[in-house]
Structure 1
Amino acid sequence: MQIATDSPQALTAIRTDLGAIFVSMELSRSIWLITSLLPGSGEKLSKHVVRAGDIAGLMARFTQLRAKARARTGCSYPIIVIQEAGLDGFWIHRVLCKEGIESHVVDPASIATSRRRRRAKTDRIDGEALVRALLAHKRGEPRVCAMVRVPTPEEEDRRRICRERKVLLADRIRHVNRLKGLLFAQGVTGYQPLRRDRRERLEELMTGDGRPLPMHLKVQIGRELDRLELLLEQIRAVESERDTLLAAEPTAMPAPAAMLLDIKGIGPEFAAILWSEGLFRHFANRREVAAYAGLAPTPWQSGSVDREQGVSKAGNPRLRTALIQLAWLWIRNQPQSALTHWYQQRVRLNGGRLKKSTVVALARKLLVALWKYVTAGVIIEGVVMKAA
């Protein structure tokens, strides 16, 4: 078989006739590397550096790219930009959209890379890979990369309440453990720093060898209690703000957070996390729901080898953690539901083993059931609702 080689135009590996200027942005704290592909330039990629945060310089560079493409082809082309989701958040994407520029934010873990043990990685190589991924995405190639659904500023701001509370709880645990450790070194056990009479009980404590607490140790513990009480006050303020938000939620339609609160076993914290971290988004099917939470299965199949590697853990870790905690509580608070019966039957078939892996599967089923409940009003079979 012979291949014709007398074609008037040489075939290129990259299609550049998509009618746009494709630009990738490699972001860092000091510089932004701009990699661009202009129409009519073949496979040649141009690279320029802009100081980090310099939006005016970025727009000036885009103007130069448009002028260069117009001088080369005689036509005016739009600019399509791609960047990785990272520490810069979504403010650059919002600025570009406000300027009328088509912008995409990609999940960096979804871009295919070399599987060599020592693969080369530089901003230059990553910028070129982003441009190729953007080209393939605009050509309509499926599964070439995963574009991030950028939340609105209101959606992004709303989920800060639950995230701040989690940080404050972690700080509270550290302070409580530090207090108990200081006292344990003196032979004192049983002291509970979270009790309201913590300062009164501190005056009554004696060391293990019958001495009063040393002066400097008592002063240190007092300062530690000051920090702990400030944390407790901030936690109460955050929880009050969360409850106020949930109370205002029924004014919106279809009030999914309020619907979650109607189910026995789901309190304000779980309802806020489920809604702000995941269920506010639009999903096409149950597979997308499970994948977003990182609860989708990960098979390993090749020839006669067929094994399951567990859940992917590639989604929202906060939502996944909350769902697994809720799954354990669901068994206790909803013993007559169909999901609990399914869990108990699977555990019996396994001879009482594999409870942890089974509860992860229950968390996936529970997430899908709650998604159907808040979006389509499908009541979970056998679920008990709270009394009015």
Structure 2
Amino acid sequence: MNAPRTALHGQDTTITGSLYVAFELGDKSWKLSLGDGVRSPNRCTVAAGDTAAVFTAISKAKARCHLTIDAPVRSCYEAGRDGFWLHRCLEAHQITNLVVDSASIEVNRRRRRAKTDRLDSDKLLSMLMRYYGGERRVWAVARIPTPEQEDERRVHRELDRLRQERTAHSNRIRSLLVLHNLRPERIGGRAWAHWWTQHTTQLLPALRAEIEREFERLLLAARQIRALEVQQQREGAAVRNPRLRGSRALRVSAPAVPGS
């Protein structure tokens, strides 16, 4: 039993008359399954990011399924590293797209699915048809943020990564030192500078150089964290103070001065 007929089993056949497209997004290539709910799905592979090839595949699939040029197209893909740019591109071409929360997709309980596993495009196509056939609980659809909302989250996410990086550098230095039974109370600050001066002679040159390079990376992460925290505080103050918010808007919209 092919995927479309499985999808239509017991469902309202009014889902026919549209083209359904499921994307399996990979780093180097995308796999597409395309069908109308009547015929077996057509499959093709395009280079990752090649939207022109995607629209060509959709046009060919419509012709194969004897659908009109303006027949509605419904598509889906799993939320992942590509984010929402593809969703916006599809919507701009009058394609109704769903970005699906991977964690919400039903799975065979006997086969545990890793978080990083991707469903193949045929399975997604079947579920897409079931969704439009009335099974709205087949998955959870992600809420699509605006580009501005996405951009506002950047600082918070970068801060999270930098704090993790700072901890990793600190832990690495401690791990290298404990090889020689050296256990500083804290990595960084004035106390560290004094401690390092006292104990550096106990280390061989290569290890000493490695720790110093690691400490440089730690300092860089710490500086960037401080800069982003200051930025967050200023933006928070601007949100709370209408005058500051207005001046911030003027700064953002003001044209750049040549040579500045």
TM bucket, shorter chain: 0.7 to 0.9
**2:59 touches 2:69 (CA, 8 Å); kept in 1?**
no
Distance in structure 1 (CA, Å) of the matches to 2:118 and 2:39? 15
Report what 1:58 is aligned to: 54
**2:34 touches 2:58 (CA, 8 Å); kept in 1?**
no
Name the amino acid aligned to 1:23.
V
Q: Deviations over 1:227-261 (max 9, x none)?
A: 22112111111212222222222368xx9xxxxxx
174, 177, 185: which one pairs with 1:180? 174
Name the amino acid aligned to 2:57.
R
CA RMSD in angstroms comes to: 3.1
114, 127, 130: which one pairs with 2:124? 130
Shift of 1:170: 1.9
1:30 is aligned to 2:33: no
Report what 1:198 is aligned to: 192
Report what 2:234 is aligned to: 244
Q: Deviations over 1:188-238 (max 9, x none)?
A: 4344222235324422337xxxxx434614444333322221121111112
**2:24 touches 2:121 (CA, 8 Å); kept in 1?**
yes
**1:66 touches 1:76 (CA, 8 Å); kept in 2?**
no
Distance in structure 2 (CA, Å) of the matches to 1:47 and 1:61? 9
Distance in structure 1 (CA, Å) of the matches to 2:27 and 2:83? 13
Distance in structure 1 (CA, Å) of the matches to 2:119 and 2:215? 52
Q: Deviations over 1:36-69 (max 9, x none)?
A: 222xx62422222222211111111122233444
**2:20 touches 2:128 (CA, 8 Å); kept in 1?**
yes
**1:23 touches 1:82 (CA, 8 Å); kept in 2?**
yes
Shift of 1:118: 9.2
Distance in structure 2 (CA, Å) of the matches to 1:74 and 1:153? 33
**1:35 touches 1:47 (CA, 8 Å); kept in 2?**
yes
Distance in structure 1 (CA, Å) of the matches to 2:178 and 2:108? 53
**2:163 touches 2:225 (CA, 8 Å); kept in 1?**
yes
The alignment-based identity, stated in percent, is 34
Q: Deviations over 1:90-114 (max 9, x none)?
A: 1111111122211111123323233
Q: 1:230 to 1:35 in 2, by over 3 A?
A: same
The structure with more radius of gyration: 1
Gaps of 5+ in 2: 1-7, 246-260
Distance in structure 2 (CA, Å) of the matches to 1:197 and 1:151? 46
For 1:88-127, what aligned pairs fall within 5 Å after superposition? Answer: 88-117=82-111, 126-127=120-121
Q: Deviations over 1:160-199 (max 9, x none)?
A: 2222222222222222233333334444434422223532
- Report the TM-score when normalising by structure 1: 0.52
Distance in structure 2 (CA, Å) of the matches to 1:183 and 1:57? 55
Distance in structure 2 (CA, Å) of the matches to 1:218 and 1:75? 69
SS at match of 1:66: helix
For 1:66-85, what aligned pairs fall within 5 Å after superposition? Answer: 66-69=62-65, 72=66, 76-85=70-79
223, 229, 235: which one pairs with 1:233? 223
Report what 2:139 is aligned to: 145
